[in-house]
């Protein structure tokens, strides 16, 4: 199983979650919301080769943490994975969108300068702006839109721009989320938990709950669960290959 977007450091018992992932053989992209969390979060995955740590600066924190941007750019030497980054255009964050845009653009430029990275990108209520910045900063690498919730039109644009997508049980529990997932090319789809933030049935989604997303995708694609899981694993190998 693949969990391409997990905030493993934010579970109450991150080391137990990491150990359980290792026991189950799950590939996890462990994100950070601030560059200063890098050291502690990368330790959680140390000695567990299937857990990789990404350096990020979450758009919801960009206005408070933009001073950590130089640290993020420096940490690009340490990892080929970047996230969580992006733009959040929700009403309560609209006032900070210019700061978010500056931070995200600088990160995209840094990724391009470093030869390209794999990026897990947040685009809530800002899909158009995110795609505009990705288009304006070529060479940043492979962009994975996590929990995409924008318009069908922007989704077609993202596909044309060769973006990837990660979808999880929470997204796939809504009709809108399933319709968007159905419009994504199956060879560009990965699974994610977005735990512990994402919840299903009143509890945090765990990395091993991505099996439920595999089941939903199998139904959407009209294939068996095993075939869907195999497709996602193939996608993952293409995504992380150099």
Contact positions toward Mn ion, by CB under 5 A?
84, 194
* Residue 7 DSSP class: -
For Mn ion, the closer of residues 194 and 214 by Cβ is: 194
Min dist. Cβ of residue 149 to Mn ion (A): 13
Min dist. Cβ of residue 85 to Mn ion (A): 10
The residue of the chain with the least Cβ separation from Mn ion equals 194
d(CA 48, CA 18): 8
Report which of 238, 157, 231, 160 is spatially closest to residue 1, judged by C-alpha positions: 231
Bridge-based pairing state of the strands 199-200 and 203-204: antiparallel
For Mn ion, the closer of residues 3 and 194 by Cβ is: 194
Min dist. Cβ of residue 224 to Mn ion (A): 29
d(CA 73, CA 59): 16
Min dist. Cβ of residue 121 to Mn ion (A): 10
Spell out the residues 6+ positions from residue 87 whose beta carbon is closer than 8 angstroms to its own: 59, 97, 100, 101, 104, 122, 123, 126, 129, 130, 133
For Mn ion, the closer of residues 84 and 216 by Cβ is: 84
Q: Taken in order 6, 56, 234, 169, is the CA torsion positive or negative?
A: positive
For Mn ion, the closer of residues 197 and 221 by Cβ is: 197
Min dist. Cβ of residue 124 to Mn ion (A): 10
For Mn ion, the closer of residues 84 and 129 by Cβ is: 84
């Amino acid at each position: 199983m693949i969990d391409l977007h997990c905030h493993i450091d934010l579970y109450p018992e991150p080391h137990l979650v990491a150990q359980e992932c290792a026991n189950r053989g799950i590939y996890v992209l462990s994100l950070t919301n601030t560059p200063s969390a890098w050291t502690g979060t990368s330790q959680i995955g140390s000695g567990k080769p299937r857990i990789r740590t990404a350096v990020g600066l979450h758009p919801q924190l960009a206005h408070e943490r933009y001073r950590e941007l130089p640290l993020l750019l420096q940490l690009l030497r340490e990892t080929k994975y970047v996230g969580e980054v992006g733009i959040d255009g929700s009403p309560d964050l609209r006032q900070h969108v210019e700061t978010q845009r500056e931070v995200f653009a600088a990160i995209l430029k840094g990724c391009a300068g470093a030869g390209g990275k794999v990026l897990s990108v947040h685009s809530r209520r800002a899909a158009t702006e995110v795609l505009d910045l990705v288009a304006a900063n070529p060479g940043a690498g492979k962009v994975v839109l996590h929990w995409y919730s924008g318009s069908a039109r922007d989704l077609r644009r993202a596909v044309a721009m060769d973006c990837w997508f990660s979808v999880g049980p929470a997204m796939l529990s809504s009709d809108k989320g399933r319709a968007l997932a159905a419009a994504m090319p199956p060879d560009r789809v990965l699974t994610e938990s977005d735990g512990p933030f994402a919840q299903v049935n009143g509890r945090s989604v765990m990395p091993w709950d991505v099996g439920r997303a595999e089941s939903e995708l199998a139904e959407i694609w009209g294939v068996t669960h095993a075939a869907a899981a195999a497709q996602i694993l193939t996608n993952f190998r293409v995504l992380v290959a150099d």
